[in-house]
Structure 1
Amino acid sequence: MLVLLPPSEGKATDGDGPPLDLDSLTLPGLRPAREQVMAALAEVCSGPEEEAREVLGLSPTQADALKRNLSLETAPTLRADQLYTGVLYDRLGLGDLPRTDRVLIFSGLWGAVGPADRLPPYRLSMGVKLPPLGGLAAYWRREAKKELEGFTGDHLLVDCRSSAYAAAYKSGAALPVRVLRERVVDGQAKRSVVSHMAKATRGDIARSLLLENVDARTPEELTGALRDLGYTVELDRGRLDVVVRD
């Protein structure tokens, strides 16, 4: 079983490790594709600031991200489990888990990395259309497919990614995790899909699975394991629904 995660919009901005070593990253066969994205990103960020921010979807207050994107090869690095922050990662707490080798973090810049990979701070979302490569989800879906299929093998994939990152790698073994909020309205239980709460819940789910060393082989085994851990979960047409009640 592998857990697939998105990165986070918020990231640490300072590292203290050695410069980037592309050959040391998880999925080293992606090096040529990663170098292409790095070069295209540098080209955009070295141009007019306003145009670069528009391409990358950045506000004027995020202009420092352009400078970080221009120093990827020389900037101090930090582990991915320290780089990525935000609600999901706060709840997941990768840094104090005993085993994280079953985690794969998807990235607009790197394709996919492991929690122990050392990366420089950067800013590049999967939803960006990066000249001349085009949409990054489509780019990585094409360039990383073979490497990812070899890495994931026949494992069940617990897919905690958002839609933009899920589009970068699609697999019949992936079981998307959807979070539903259940409330009683006029005596009837009603459910709705949630967004912000979903990040926290997916972080909780991933932490529980890794902390308890769950290694389910089928969606049914995973559902049973999560129920044993106290979650309300249901299988629904190739998706795992996690029900959170008020």
Structure 2
Amino acid sequence: MLILLSPAKRLDFTEPSPDTPATQRRFVEDTATLSKTARNQTQAQLRALMGISADLAKLNQERFKAFDPEALDTGVQAALAFAGDVYQGLDARTLDKQGLAFAQDHVRILSGFYGLLRPLDRIQPYRLEMGIRLKTRRGESLYDFWGDRIAKMIKADLADSAHPVVVNLASQEYFGAVDKKALKTPIITPNFYEGVGEKRKIVSFFAKKARGTMTRFAIDERIDNPEDLKRFDRDGYRLDKTASTDTDWIFTRE
């Protein structure tokens, strides 16, 4: 089983404990290629591409220019560096070494810049959202750039799994980078609603946090069989068996 998460725009590059394990990221050559393209973008182009302010455009231009594609042993581990709503629920900085090791085997983070990250892969500060239309030699967008590469890596990571299933806790924007034809793997998508029955609705902040909380539940409980995720009951959520299907699981809370 592999759980897929989206990255976060907010970053926390506070150095963790020196004995926290770390690994080198993959897709090294692909990221190096992207960094060259991104480095050549003007601040005005970055503003238009990502819909960000002038200050953020300046910050991210500086980040791309400072990025060293060969510095694989610098940066902060991905699961610790991302600090958005999902990662509040995950709370990776409180995991012990055993928990981090389990996460390394069972969690992946989709990234517009890095492709597919393991939780302990070191990353440098960046912002490059998967849905932007950054033109490269491979096409008109990052979806074109990554093609089937991410799906093939996920499939390879699942090769020795007793339960080769993808649990999609990523956003639509990021999961769109996974070529399902190349993946050829069962996909389960949990959804989190506030309220029950006809009045239930998805509230973005709560849904994002719940994705991280479910991931933490899987790590804490050492869940390898996705069926065991149906027991998820943190923060008041419960599986609505009637509303759920084999591939779309509906969790609700009052």
2:61 aligned with 1:66, yes or no? yes
Please report the TM-score for the alignment, with normalisation by the length of structure 2: 0.79
Percent identity for Structure 1 against Structure 2: 23
Instruction: List gaps (5 residues or longer) in structure 1.
Output: 17-22
Instruction: Check 1:138–1:155 CA distance in 2 against 1; reply closer, same or farther (3 A cut).
Output: same
- Give secondary structure in 1 for the equivalent of 2:147: helix
In the TM superposition, residue 10 of structure 1 has moved relative to its aligned partner by 1.1
- Identify the range of structure 1 (115-124 vs 191-200) with the bigger mean alpha-carbon deviation: 191-200
Written as runs of structure 1 = structure 2, the 5 A alignment for 1:90-239 is 90-97=88-95, 98=99, 99-101=102-104, 102-132=106-136, 133-153=139-159, 155-169=164-178, 170=180, 171=183, 172-182=185-195, 190-217=199-226, 220-223=227-230, 225-226=231-232, 231-233=237-239, 234=241, 235-236=244-245, 238-239=247-248
Aligned mates of 2:12, 2:94 — CA distance in 1: 17
Of 126-135 and 198-207, the range deviating more from structure 2: 126-135
Q: Cα–Cα, structure 1 residues 37 and 126, in superposed 2: closer, same or farther, change >3 Å?
A: same
Which residue does 2:34 correspond to in 1? 37
Query: What is aligned with 1:83?
Result: 81
Would the aligned equivalents of 1:141 and 1:167 in 2 still touch at CA under 8 Å?
Answer: no
The amino acid across from 2:66 in the alignment is S
1:54 to 41, 48, 55: 48
Which stretch of the first structure deviates more once superposed, 139-148 or 207-216?
139-148
* Change over 3 Å in CA distance of 1:211–1:135 after alignment to 2: same
Q: 1:156 to 1:230 in 2, by over 3 A?
A: farther
What letter corresponds to residue 32 of structure 2 in structure 1? E
Once the two structures are TM-superposed, the CA of residue 168 in structure 1 deviates from its matched residue by: 0.8
**Deviation for aligned residue 1:35:** 2.1
Contact 2:38/2:64 (<8 A) preserved: yes
Higher strand share: 1
Q: Which runs of 5+ in 2 are unaligned?
A: 17-22
Structure 1: how far apart are the matches of 2:51 and 2:235? 40
1:213/1:41 Cα in 2 relative to 1: closer, same or farther (>3 Å)?
same
Query: What is the root-mean-square deviation of aligned Cα atoms in Å?
Result: 2.7
The CA deviation string for residues 52-102 of structure 1, in whole angstroms up to 9 with x for no partner, is 221233211312121012111078511112210011101211122223211
CA distance in 1, matches of 2:142, 2:103: 26
TM-score (norm 1): 0.81
